[in-house]
Amino acid sequence: MLAYPRFLCYNVCMDDLKQIIAVNIAFYRKEKGLTQVELAEKLNYSDKAVSKWERGEAYPDIATLVALAKLFGITVNELVTDKKKVKKAKPLIALLSAGLVWLIATAVFVIMNMAATIPHTWLVFVYAIPVCAVVLLVLFAIWRKNLLILVAETVLMWTVATCIYLTILFTASIENSFFIFFLPIPLQILAILWYEFRVKRRLHFRFKRGRVKKTDRNDKNDSGNNDKNSDHVNKNDNHGDAK
């Protein structure tokens, strides 16, 4: 009795997986600025096979999935994962990661106050800010969020300088320690320039992607016209045979 529901569930899951892979292949192909023909040539497949993958009528084998992931610069898991679900989970992952850093900082603060009379234990929370920025910077880099990467880099640079300044201020008598804040200035300029470079490169890929979409539409129109012509020829042949 359970065989049919399990078989039905398997078919539904496979159909969902086909659609997920189809959407992801089309997305990452266009992100790389490749046409279906160019992608097919790189994989030694026909463009018809790539078209079937992107329509969800078929899906590549494991070896081809690995080759696709390597070509797109992603993991196989990213290629077979629903991007919408991952997108919804990203804010939660970022909040949990930041919350974990502050939980550890709070635990360290409590232990330091309970174990010994250490002065200026509140600095633990100041040190937690650049640590939190590093964690978020890694996540934003994985997710390719250029603006958030710049924000995290900015917070990291200036909070590290603040931590060094406060440590010197409360532990050592060094004059003119505020000059430490001059160090992040060139780093900030470099970060902004690097952000501008990434944005321009992304705009270039978008422009190329638009050209790819136009090429894909032309290919579809050409294939549709060829099908119509072939059908018309077949009808004429059948009509001639009937005569």
Domain boundary assignment for the chain: 3-79, 85-178, 183-243
> What does the pLDDT look like over 120-176, one tens digit per residue?
889 999 999 999 999 999 999 888 888 999 999 999 999 999 999 999 888 877 888
End-to-end Cα spacing for the chain: 57
pLDDT category of residue 194 using cuts at 50, 70 and 90: very high
Given 1.10.260.40, 1.10.10.350, 1.10.569.10, 2.60.40.10, which CATH number is that of 3-79? 1.10.260.40
Q: Are 25 and 49 in contact (CB under 8 A)?
A: no
Given a cut of 50, is residue 26 above it in pLDDT? Answer: yes
Distance CA 202, CA 32 (A): 10
What is the C-alpha separation between 158 and 155, in angstroms, rounded? 6
Contact (CB, 8 A) for 60 and 44: no
**Residues 5-18: tens digit of each pLDDT:** 443 333 446 677 88
Rounded to 5°, the CA angle 40-44-49 comes to: 50
